[in-house]
Structure 1
């Protein structure tokens, strides 16, 4: 598919343009030095500032990216990683012109996959059993206690009665109240992953407690039941039938691919799967053993870090400070690896091959039935596809240790040659900053994630999500905030409106000569061209600086704002060529960044695709224009029904858009917007003529009202529902803009809501005035002589009805009080006189 304006110029009638406009404008070229000019990149192998990027082969890049572990739906944290990979890859390919061999793996055998698939099978089997309500409650209750013992030990301290659903809430508040209130477990510092994990476990316990209280059985208790059932029955699962695992991984792989397609992420050059590489993995491990860098222990094989370093190699080159972090080491080995084989020489040694225990999948090997270690898979698959040295290896920052450090070690051990020094397996390690939420890494294990599917359905568009990540550096951590979302929305709206406006103005230039005043495409525009040339230089510098996309996005925004100022300057706006040049260059850059799912290299169109008009190669013109033709026919019939005699109206009614459409169709045009323009111009012209005759209808108020109502309906409903916006212009036809219908309809509904609210407030104000007026005259009806007579504070009054003696104590009214009462009496006298004058003393 092509970009929204295709690869042809936006105009169809080039004969109308000046000679210079017929040439490929020089402004469309990138400001680009040679491809090999200095590109720098943050390389995790060399911490610090960006280093020069020099691929091993001129013009080509070999790249291996760690793909997903296919056990669950992908979330926004994954989107952060894979979108960042995609953006950098696109810049390498489409901006700098490299040929990128991009290889990605699917981890389809892993502890997480085994546990999830096995537990789901066990739960399904459990649901098939015939439990009495008492037996089912007993099962859930035991799982409830076991889950707390394993994950929330402060709930089950010694000496306390047995934990149950009745005492759970009080214990939860006492043990973990400060965490739930936003604090830390220790009472110091800021909450992080540990606190997020506690909250996740407590949420699971909350659901289970509710299930126990309501006798809901399995419903709500699955998260605590799964590990309990696994602890009871995991060894009973027949894993010779591996479909319990492959059914899950194949389903999740498809879901991942669907997510990536929805996000406009380029497909890898090649993909690999662990289960398709088991024989090669076995051979790879054997070679490492033969070189003395690994050892077998009771069916498992471990990498010998001591031997590796003794041979002159470096371990934990990416994260040397983490090499003794036992928590990370255990996480890297997997939760099923405890007691998976014989004694390791040292705690830091890691598994290359794991002996399979009952309830786990297995493959044959020289060491018995087993399965690959987590890290070995990438070493084998990447080396198979890219050889003994690659330019780039990438992944999320959380993989740096132990996964990537272990990958490096075992790969360099495999390719190690005595006497030749350390082998370099990867030249550049790119680690994408992770996405965090409330200070914690977004992850499946913490259940603090939003899936990509859900995010695209409720919160983001694919373009908007990509813009959010483009506005942050790829190697920095990101915590999405309201301000960040607002900044991304503003950027997108600014660029989108710019594309909409310039396409509308260029379409206006390309309109038929019948009654249209043309805009010139000649004249001065040097200042904007200078801005464009400077923008090219600035963007080039940003992308060469370790793919500084935040800087690049600011360059684009600044240039677009300058172009908008130029377009709004009446002294300059008659020359659209510089603005078109800017628009085409911006189109190319946003295409390179992947912000237009409809666009393909070399991104020579104008604007980006939208829901209102998609450039489809196989579009049928007659089908495409049906909604626009129908809208025109409806408007035409309604205008005819008004029986207006103005010659301009009759001329507009006699004009048919069919001939213009036939010409466009004959040219082979496939752009829906261009195909629709003849009908939209005809519709817009009818409306313009209706507006023009309104001043002549002063003596026919009903006709005038009907004309105004039809004019508004055409703009606000007939065309809005098609994704078309009309901007009224003085002494010129209305400007036709293509805007997503949903956006226009939302604006219409918002306007209607504001008008309704304004009308409501006006009505409430009217009622308040009426009530105040009613209360005023009710008060005015009382004669001043009677206004104090019923007040119990007084016992005597003078002839005018003014109080003279207080009820309390029988004392005369004090002079100060009497003075105030007289003022009130005078005001009432005046008000009562107004009442008498208005109503004549009537009730």
Structure 2
């Protein structure tokens, strides 16, 4: 195996060798979510990508990974969300009249616009902004942004434009609420900050349940989302509110070492003192160290009024709590932890003074992770030991973007994980999309990317379905022994060589900083080669060779987390589903009941046909799938597909025999019709509804395939719709033809002598009915007369045909 390399944000550029501190072990801390809202696809990108790397280290490279993750359950965003939610609840309880409610919404509407959308109230406008002129002001001030442009008129749209659109959406709802006089409904997003500005200091924060109720609910929602995405749970979870005493002690130690100072009840990290002692600040993003916007974002929106910093870049380790904020006791007074200090304390508590990996989204690199590094290295700093290394490898997951902007809660340009899984994705399809991109690259999900992911999944899904069906057809339960078959044991030398090459290629890809896009192409190429071999009519297919490929591919997709029912060492065949995982926990008799019911029903219907053919009567007498099922159950088998096979084979055999006798010349036509209808119904309804596909084969038993029922039903419905549409078009064509035929003969009724009679364009007709003079008395021109003669002759011909056809000649 080649040495593992990894992209390390601490050493930008090419991947560097990955060498954990302890042989065979990896200590890893991941920044978890701030639990104030539902998680979105951007979070899925971060935590699924993290999970993939963790699984590769664990199950492919064989490391024992100790994975720690935190929940941030006290933070400016949490405080604002919980506090504003409570204030709105209190406001709704007040006995406002409709006029008073409207007055409050108007004030909030204007305050929101002034704070976030200044172009809605231009200085040269004599009229104040209201719901009636809002649309006009919106188009004038921000029309270019809404049309896809930028605020400056240069470059491409980014987070600033996404923020404008988010604020405009909030104003849209509020303007509509004012127009419809619906009170607070629809205006909540502009009301929340306004109410907070009025009443935030009145909230009693000695009772912290207004905050913990929110964070606990969001933590549960996040955990459920991760489980739905098949993300492994952390080995250990930490929460900020459970670490406040340790945080206070940690900050005290940094002060004692001269790297922090207290000011007005807050404590700030002293970057200058830290660097003077020989340490490096902003090692991850040195170019961002003076970015005031990022510095302010890192400090939090509630911390702008804190005073006493020596330098603008110094950041808070401990914040003095203002009225309306949660607080804990400390040597510096009532306060709360700074955002960055929490991870330093919790990670150090669990993993010590050094760890192998620290990970998080790329947006956390500065200031969050840079500040984490600084304060942790300050805490562990020893004067005579040089600069302390707290993290060896920093892994940053790339952004998930939408329309050029990062997907984020603050921009409200996101789709929640819950909504995505309910509409556009399965856990597997979402993971495949992420696997097809490098974990450290930014990505924007496009239709082409979705199409590529769907094609990849479909190719592997069909491969697994086909090989399992072929092995079942051969009546040999797949054997684990084929995993290690050598070239001398398998005649399909070419496919085996391709498998061995795929193993080398995949190993090289994963050693190259967990290059999953290349790994996914390796799997796809091998599966396509196996499909070509399996469908080659010129060779005797060696199913063991194909099975060896399928088992290795199964192992890798299991490692990648694409099978929610799989467990290490991933020695199954094919991938399962969440439904299959749930079914495996059901009592076997209960699990196979639907399959047994189908067989029982089909058997009764065949018996009712009273057929005399020996092949059918023998099957009816001798087949006993219950015995075969009982043996499987006794052996401990819990795979529902395998348990169902006795009933499915028995059903399929009966159907095959029925199909075989319909060509008999002695078969009663009514029975033949009944057999054909029964045969189609078994395939298209009875088994399709159970997620079983029967592929009819010439001179061989039908091939039994397990396919998700929803997919089969959708295909059946699509086929029915196509047939219905074909029938509709055929009927329309028939009617159109009949109408044309009717119109043809209706026109043919008229004799050629009468066809120009009553035509106002002509004055005189000759004996044959041809015009001689025009309405003005002039002679019909020779060219016109020639054309009229041709029309007359055509009418004469069709009229004669009419007379013959309808017996009037």
Q: After superposition, what is the alpha-carbon deviation per residue over 1:268-322, rounded to whole angstroms, capped at 9, x for unaligned? A: 1111111111111111111111111111110111111111112221111111111
Partner SS state of residue 785, structure 1 = coil
Q: Which residue of 1 aligns with 2:462?
A: 497
Q: After superposition, what is the alpha-carbon deviation per residue over 1:41-68, rounded to whole angstroms, capped at 9, x for unaligned? A: 1111111111111111111111110000
* Residue number among 683, 693, 696 corresponding to 1:728 in the alignment: 696
Q: Which residue of 2 aligns with 1:5?
A: none
Q: After superposition, what is the alpha-carbon deviation per residue over 1:94-134, rounded to whole angstroms, capped at 9, x for unaligned? A: 00000101110000000000000000000011111000111
> Separation in 1 of the partners of 2:10 and 2:198?
45
Residue pair 2:490, 2:544 contacting (<8 A) in 1 also: no
1:605 is aligned to 2:572: yes
Where do residues 331-730 of structure 1 align in structure 2 (5 Å cutoff)?
A: 331-340=297-306, 342-510=307-475, 524-610=491-577, 613-614=580-581, 618-654=585-621, 655-697=623-665, 700-730=668-698
Residue pair 1:615, 1:670 contacting (<8 A) in 2 also: no
- 1:662 Cα offset (Å): 2.1
Greater relative contact order (Cα < 8 A, sep 6+): 1
> Separation in 2 of the partners of 1:464 and 1:710?
36
* Residue number among 788, 799, 803 corresponding to 1:832 in the alignment: 799
Root mean square deviation, CA, Å: 1.5
Partner SS state of residue 784, structure 1 = coil
> Separation in 2 of the partners of 1:105 and 1:604?
33
If the length of structure 1 is used for normalisation, what is the TM-score?
Answer: 0.93
> Separation in 2 of the partners of 1:400 and 1:202?
30
1:785 is aligned to 2:737: no
> Separation in 2 of the partners of 1:400 and 1:522?
53
Residue pair 2:565, 2:578 contacting (<8 A) in 1 also: no
Residue pair 1:612, 1:739 contacting (<8 A) in 2 also: no
- 1:523 Cα offset (Å): 6.5
Q: Which residue of 2 aligns with 1:220?
A: 186
- 1:167 Cα offset (Å): 1.2
* Residue number among 215, 224, 229 corresponding to 2:195 in the alignment: 229
> Separation in 2 of the partners of 1:313 and 1:816?
105
Partner SS state of residue 339, structure 2 = coil
Partner SS state of residue 360, structure 2 = strand
Partner SS state of residue 371, structure 1 = strand
1:791/1:607 Cα in 2 relative to 1: closer, same or farther (>3 Å)? Answer: same
Q: Which residue of 1 aligns with 2:729?
A: 761
Q: Which residue of 1 aligns with 2:766?
A: 798
- 1:162 Cα offset (Å): 1.7
1:350/1:697 Cα in 2 relative to 1: closer, same or farther (>3 Å)? Answer: farther
Q: Which residue of 2 aligns with 1:307?
A: 273
1:617/1:709 Cα in 2 relative to 1: closer, same or farther (>3 Å)? Answer: closer
Q: Which ranges of structure 1 fall in alignment gaps of 5 or more residues? A: 1-32, 513-520
Q: After superposition, what is the alpha-carbon deviation per residue over 1:799-833, rounded to whole angstroms, capped at 9, x for unaligned? A: 222222233x5432222222222222222211111
- 1:156 Cα offset (Å): 1.6
* Residue number among 51, 56, 61 corresponding to 1:86 in the alignment: 51
Partner SS state of residue 113, structure 1 = helix
- 1:159 Cα offset (Å): 4.2
- 1:179 Cα offset (Å): 1.1
Q: Which residue of 2 aligns with 1:12?
A: none
- 1:395 Cα offset (Å): 0.5
Greater CA deviation, 556-565 or 698-707? 698-707
> Separation in 1 of the partners of 2:585 and 2:668?
50
> Separation in 2 of the partners of 1:409 and 1:323?
12
Partner SS state of residue 375, structure 1 = helix
- 1:511 Cα offset (Å): 6.4
Residue pair 1:155, 1:171 contacting (<8 A) in 2 also: yes
Where do residues 198-217 of structure 1 align in structure 2 (5 Å cutoff)?
A: 198-217=164-183
Partner SS state of residue 696, structure 1 = coil
Aligned length: 797
Residue pair 1:612, 1:741 contacting (<8 A) in 2 also: no
- 1:480 Cα offset (Å): 0.6
Q: After superposition, what is the alpha-carbon deviation per residue over 1:374-401, rounded to whole angstroms, capped at 9, x for unaligned? A: 0111111111111111111110011111
Greater CA deviation, 110-119 or 788-797? 788-797
1:612/1:241 Cα in 2 relative to 1: closer, same or farther (>3 Å)? Answer: closer
Q: Which residue of 1 aligns with 2:480?
A: none
If the length of structure 2 is used for normalisation, what is the TM-score?
Answer: 0.97
Residue pair 2:39, 2:417 contacting (<8 A) in 1 also: yes
